[in-house]
Amino acid sequence: MAKFRPLHDRVVVKRLTGEEKTAGGIIIPDTAKEKPMEGEVIAVGAGARNETGAIVALDVKAGDRVLFGKWSGTEVKIDGEELLIMKESDIMGVIETA
């Protein structure tokens, strides 16, 4: 990916691919799949400024696996890769891996 640095409290997320089959084994065609609401954080901004002007760092970091709202973010294409740029507040949480 090209060097891209999001500003302020914005986060760049790569959407993770959705399930290809249902639990019962039925293959889901691309046209019927819902876009997944799970992704990997690729890059984060420096943080938002608080009332006193100090920068408050973000809670997420590159490499985190996150859940976000269905309509969150703006879809962009950087070096042919489809990514989302969203505010940290659009992220619902980090998925902790064991």
pLDDT in tens, 57-75: 999 999 999 999 888 899 9
Query: Is 39 strand, coil or helix?
Result: strand
**Res 91 pLDDT > 50:** yes
Indicate the pLDDT class of residue 32, thresholds 50, 70 and 90.
Answer: very low
Q: Which three-class secondary structure state does DSSP give residue 90? A: helix
Structure-model confidence comparison of residues 33 and 9, the more confident one:
9
Under DSSP, is residue 20 helix (H, G, I), strand (E, B) or coil?
coil
Report the amino acid identity of residue 38: E
In contact, 18 and 12? CB cutoff 8 Å: no
| Mean pLDDT score, 27-34 | 55
Through-space distance between the first and last CA atoms of the chain, rounded to whole angstroms: 28
Between 4-13, 17-26, 80-89, the lowest mean confidence (pLDDT) is in: 17-26
